[in-house]
Structure 1
Amino acid sequence: MYCNELADRIRAVLAGIDGARGATEQQMFGGLAFLIGGNMAVSASAQGGLLLRADPASRGALCAEPGAERAVMRGRSLDGWLRVDDAAVASDEDLARWVRIGVEYAASLPPK
């Protein structure tokens, strides 16, 4: 089960981002995902921390940051998906930065 406190913190960040005010919520991958135009941007992960959608071209730089790594599901590494651990989103500023990365990428995709 995902962390309700983290989900509330994500909601607060999304409320302050112009392009994210119409975000919808959906339970996915055991967590609570926040979608922009039907595309997942960020999720309060059931494994703790965030599951984040990001531009695959920026994966290397983002994975070099402390607490971030390429997401692996069912033994398969996923391009454009990151896991960001709890410590990397402990401060509101750090959480907001990661959420914005996910929102910007999701907003750049065609709506579903």
Structure 2
Amino acid sequence: MNPQWVLPAVTTAVFLPPAALLASGRVPARWRSRLEPVRLRGLSLPGLSLLGLYLSAPANGVPRTLGAGFGVVLLCSAAGLLCALGGPSLLVVAGRRQAAPAAGRADEPR
């Protein structure tokens, strides 16, 4: 196996299954105590953030490995950068959405 394909294979094995589960809203039973999916029109924000982080690796690596031209590599690198920046920003949005209802409940009198 070409060493350049090891990193995409490892990131696919590590990131893709949990990201797909979280994005679809199907959280495994052992994760339910720690993760509660934050829904955005039927999709989970933490799952989408993991998918964004995952997509940055193939978007950057595959065109270079296949020997694509400079313009294609530059375009795919820009797409990978957007995915890499979009993933953590979705995670921040998800954290704020989970914290907002909890903060609203703490201010209410009992």
Tell me whether the two structures share a fold, i.e. TM-score over 0.5. Answer: no
With normalisation by structure 1, the TM-score equals 0.27
Q: Which has the larger radius of gyration?
A: 2
Higher strand residue share: 1
TM-score by length of 2: 0.27
Whose helix proportion is higher, 1 or 2? 2
